[in-house]
Chain A
Amino acid sequence: MSFIAKPNVSHPGMPKNSLGLSQRDYEGTVSTLCAGCGHDSVTAAIIQAVFELGIEPHMLAKMSGIGCSSKTPAYFVSQAHGFNSVHGRMPSVTTGANAANRDLTYIGVSGDGDSLSIGVGQFVHAIRRNLNMCYVIENNGVYGLTKGQFSASADIGSKPKKGQPNLQEPIDAVSTALSLGATYIARSFSGDKEQLVPLLKGALMHRGFALVDIVSPCVTFNDHEGSTKSYAHTRQFYHNVINMDYIPPREEIKAAYDDGEAMPIEMHDGSTIVLRKIDREYEPTSRAASFKYLRERFNAGEITTGLLYLDESRAEMHELMGNVDTPLTQLPLDELHPGKEELKKLQSRYR
Chain B
Amino acid sequence: MKPTDTSNPEYFHQVVDCQFGCPAHTDVPAYIRMIAQGEFSDAYMENRKSNVFPGILGRVCDRPCEPACRRGRVEEKPVAICRLKRVAADHRDDITSRLPKAPATSNGKKVALIGAGCASLTVANDLAPLGYEVTIFEALDTTGGLMRTNIPQFRLPPKVLDEEIGYILDMGVDLKTNHPIESLKGLLTEGYDAVFVGTGAPRGKNLEIPGRYDSDRIHIGIDWLESVAFEHTKEIGKKVLIIGVGNTAMDCCRTSLRIGAEDVKVMARKPRGFFKASDWELEDAEEENVEILINHSPKEFVIEDGKLVGMKFELMEYKVDDNGRIDRGTVTGEKIIPCDDVVLAIGQDNAFPWIERDIGIEFDNWDCPVVDETTMMCAIDGVFFGGDSAFGPKNIIWAVEHGHQAAISMHRYCQGEDIADRLPRGMNLASQKMGMHEWSFSNDYDPASRRIMPHVDLKKRFKKLDIEVELGFTAEQAIQEVERCLNCDIQTVFSADLCIECDACIDICPVNCLTITANGDEDDLRSRLSAPAENHEQPLYVSADLPHTSRVMVKDEDLCVHCSLCAERCPTGAWDMQKSTLLVPYAQDELAEEQSTSAAST
Contacts and interface: CB of A to CB of B under 8 A. Distances in A.
Do A and B come together as binding partners? yes
B151 interface: no
Contacts of B548: 231-232, 235
Contact of A232 (B447, B500, B570): B500
Interface string A1-41: 11110111111111000000000100000100011111011
B572 interface: yes
Contacts of A40: 503-504, 507-508, 569
Contact of A13 (B444, B534, B561, B565): B534
Interface string B483-503: 000000000000000001111
Nearest to A38: B502
A6 B445 CA distance: 9
Contacts of B565: 2, 4, 6-7
A91 interface: no
B437 A9 contact: no
A8 B512 CA distance: 13
Contacts of B563: 4, 7
Given A41-B507, A235-B548, A2 B502 contact: no
A7 B502 contact: no
Contact of A35 (B504, B511, B532): B504
Contacts of A41: 502-504, 507
Nearest to B510: A7
Interface in B277-320: none
A36 B513 contact: no
Contact of A191 (B502, B510, B534, B561): B502
Given A3-B438, A35-B569, A36-B571, A10 B502 contact: no
A133 B511 CA distance: 32
A71 interface: no
A217 B502 contact: yes
Nearest to A41: B503
Interface residues of B, number: 34
B531 A11 contact: yes
Contact of B561 (A9, A12, A231): A9
A171 B504 CA distance: 28
Interface string A184-211: 0000001101000000000000000000
B74 interface: yes
B443 interface: yes
A36 B569 contact: yes
A25 to B, nearest CB: 13
Interface string A219-238: 10001000000011001000
A61 to B, nearest CB: 23
Interface string B505-530: 01110111100000000000000000
A70 interface: no
Interface residues of A, number: 33
A9 B563 CA distance: 11
Contacts of B503: 40-41, 44, 190-191, 193
B90 to A, nearest CB: 30
B559 interface: yes
A40 B504 CA distance: 7
Interface in B53-91: 74-75
A191 B499 CA distance: 12
Contacts of B512: 10-11, 14
B568 interface: yes
B25 to A, nearest CB: 27
B504 A37 contact: yes
B428 interface: no
B549 interface: yes
Nearest to A4: B444
A193 B517 CA distance: 11
B502 A4 contact: no
A7 B565 CA distance: 9
A151 interface: no
A197 to B, nearest CB: 12
A37 B444 CA distance: 23
A44 B569 CA distance: 13
Contacts of B443: 4
A193 B501 CA distance: 12
Contacts of A4: 443-444, 563, 565
Interface in A96-110: none
A305 interface: no
Given A13-B532, A231-B500, A6 B508 contact: yes
Contacts of B438: 3
B571 A219 contact: yes
B75 A9 contact: yes
Contacts of A9: 74-75, 445, 447, 510-511, 561
Nearest to A220: B571
A36 B572 contact: yes
Contact of A44 (B507, B510, B513): B507
A36 B531 CA distance: 22
Interface in B125-140: none
A25 B512 CA distance: 14
A140 interface: no
Contact of A10 (B510, B532, B571): B510
A1 B437 contact: yes
Contact of B502 (A11, A14, A24, A36): A36
B79 to A, nearest CB: 14
A43 interface: yes
B495 to A, nearest CB: 15
Interface in B530-550: 531-532, 534, 548-549
Contact of B570 (A1, A10, A11, A35): A35
Interface string A315-338: 000000000000000000000000
B444 to A, nearest CB: 4
Interface in A157-216: 190-191, 193
A41 B568 CA distance: 15
A208 B82 CA distance: 62
11 contacts: A2-B437, A7-B561, A8-B445, A9-B74, A9-B75, A11-B532, A13-B531, A36-B500, A41-B507, A231-B500, A231-B502
Interface of B: 74-75, 437-438, 443-445, 447, 500-504, 506-508, 510-513, 531-532, 534, 548-549, 559, 561, 563, 565, 568-572
5 A-B pairs with least C-beta separation = A36-B571, A7-B445, A44-B507, A13-B532, A11-B531
Given A2-B565, A7-B510, 5 more contacts: A7-B444, A40-B508, A223-B500, A232-B500, A232-B548
